[in-house]
Amino acid sequence: MKKNLFLAAGMAVVILASGCNNNTGNDTAAESATATEATAPVQPIENPNVVATTAQGETAPAGNAAVMTFEQTEYEFGTIKEGETVEHKFEFTNTGSTPLVIESATATCGCTAPDWTRTPVAPGEKGFVAVKFNSNGKPGQQQPTVTIRANTEPNIVRVAMKGSVEPKNRMPVAGPDGPVRRN
């Protein structure tokens, strides 16, 4: 019982002591810090995952960065039957000033398998990211996406395929008159 009383009293003293305004005498330091912050130019935070843009809205890579420029980042495969496989090769050019190295390429689901150029891609050279989509068990609208991580500006790029998969066995569905009865 005494322990709890001393603990409660100690906590009350700590709370009261931390709640006091101890800024007396520090007002001039706070004012000068505020004045310095107001006159100093704001420096942008360097984030390697964000591409800098120029005044014209064009992307401006950092000094010695590789840049992955795709001919297309989305491929429309149309309508296929369930169980069919769709393959597409996304080609890119290294428009940067250093060799481009793809670290990894991961898909959004197990139905999609990416493959990519495993060797460094020199500036001005072409490489690829091949995507294979297996539609087995995936009826309906599909949009498998592959996330590519590389030594580029930005370091994460996504490519996607999209289309529709018709189910194998078409079962009747409810119409405007209600559910369909199967005999």
102-140 pLDDT, tens digit each: 999 999 988 999 999 999 999 999 999 999 999 998 999
Q: Average pLDDT of 42-61?
A: 47
pLDDT band at 47 (very low <50, low <70, confident <90, very high): very low
Quick one: which of 167, 166, 157 has its CA closest to 74? 157
State residue 149's pLDDT score.
Answer: 96
Q: Average pLDDT of 141-167?
A: 93
Percent of the chain topping pLDDT 90: 50
Answer for the pair 161, 131: CB distance below 8 angstroms, yes or no.
yes
pLDDT band at 50 (very low <50, low <70, confident <90, very high): very low
Q: What is the CATH class of 64-166?
A: mainly beta
State residue 153's pLDDT score.
Answer: 84
Answer for the pair 138, 167: CB distance below 8 angstroms, yes or no.
no
pLDDT band at 19 (very low <50, low <70, confident <90, very high): low
Q: Average pLDDT of 66-73?
A: 93
Which residues neighbour 168 within 8 Å (Cβ) at sequence distance 6 or greater? 81, 82, 83, 139
Asked if pLDDT for residue 89 goes beyond 50, the answer is yes
Query: What are the sequence ranges of the domains in the chain?
Result: 64-166
Q: Comparing 29-33, 146-150, 171-175, 177-181, which segment has the lowest mean pLDDT?
A: 29-33
Q: Each residue of 39-48: b (16+ CB within 10 Å) or e?
A: eeeeeeeeee
pLDDT band at 82 (very low <50, low <70, confident <90, very high): very high
| Cα dihedral across residues 52, 89, 119, 106: positive or negative | positive
Q: Comparing 34-48, 67-81, 107-121, 136-150, which segment has the lowest mean pLDDT?
A: 34-48
State residue 18's pLDDT score.
Answer: 61
Residue 23 in tokens? 């800024």
Q: Comparing 6-15, 33-42, 93-102, 156-165, which segment has the lowest mean pLDDT?
A: 33-42
AA identity, residue 58: E
Between these two residues, 112 and 7, which has the higher pLDDT value? 112
